[in-house]
Amino acid sequence: MDPDPDLPTKSHHRAWDKDYHYRGKLWRGVPPEIPTLPDGMIILELGCGNGKTLSAMIRRCWDIVAVDVSPKAVQMCQMMVEMEEDRCLSRVEVMVADACALPFEDETFDAVFAFHVVGHVPQHERDDMADEIWRVLKPGGKVFFKGFGRGDMRYGKGKEVEDDTFLRNGILVHYFNKEEVLEVFVDFEVEDLRIDQWETLIRGKRLPRQVVEGTFVKVSQ
């Protein structure tokens, strides 16, 4: 039997779609803080999931395109956008696409949000993703990155399939340090790079969370 053309072909992509099908909204709670950018900017969000970050983005008057490899996540995101009463009425488009092979022309976007998506693919695809971000950004455009750090409480859970990358229920999670984020975005100029860490209380135990965050600028050579 031919594979369903609407389903992702890579196993680490299908695992996400399965998870959204079985568990529904995976990302809840307060959306993260997002940077201040002028109205009218053309913005791309990679790996939008069920729209946690997008729910904050659509309150800004940006022209937004959000992509995810999971058709189920895209469907949930589209519903969220339709139901959000406080959104700005500028363009918001949500579509299925792989961030490693983006269906957009060169130099389309003023900024790219890549929150917790670069770390969910193997190493060679992380490089592909950074190349695609470079390609679709306008000169002077920025990419906002977040990924889990090696000091996070979940580091080591699952089977290690590449250095600092663990496979758990089909989903890949890579844990970064600052040096490695610099390597991924080697073509960009660094505007900001920091480690954010805090503790979370789980069954009376204080456990560490750690995220590497960065802002990188496409400065043409």
Q: Interior CA angle at 144 toward 125 and 47, to 5°?
A: 50
Q: How many CA atoms lie within 13 A of 8 on its CB side?
A: 21
Q: Residue 11 or 140: which CB sits closer to ligand SAM?
A: 11
Give least dist CB 220 to ligand SAM, A.
Answer: 25
CB of 219 to ligand SAM, least distance (A): 25
Q: What are phi and psi of 52, to 5 degrees?
A: -60, -50
Q: Return d(Cα 3, Cα 168) in angstroms, integer.
A: 24
- Report the residue number, 41 or 112, with the smaller CB distance to ligand SAM: 112
Structure-token pair, residue 13: 């992509």
Q: Of 16 and 216, which has the nearer Cβ to ligand SAM?
A: 16
- State the amino acid at position 134 in one-letter form: W
Smallest gap, in angstroms, from Cβ of residue 44 to ligand SAM? 11
- Is residue 91 classed exposed, middle or buried when 0-12, 13-18 and 19+ CB atoms within 10 A define those classes? exposed
Q: Where on the chain is the footprint of ligand SAM (CB under 6 A)? A: 13, 16, 27, 46-49, 52-53, 67-70, 73, 98-100, 115-117, 120-121
Contact 58, 92 (CB under 8 A): yes
Tell me the closest approach of the beta carbon of residue 203 to ligand SAM, in angstroms.
23
For the bound state, the minimum distance from the C-beta of residue 152 to ligand SAM, rounded and expressed in Å, comes to: 13
On whether the CB atoms of residues 54 and 87 are closer than 8 A, the answer is: no
Question: Given the complex with ligand SAM, which of 1 and 213 has the nearer CB atom?
Answer: 213
Residue nearest to ligand SAM (CB): 47
Of 169 and 221, nearer to ligand SAM (C-beta) is 169
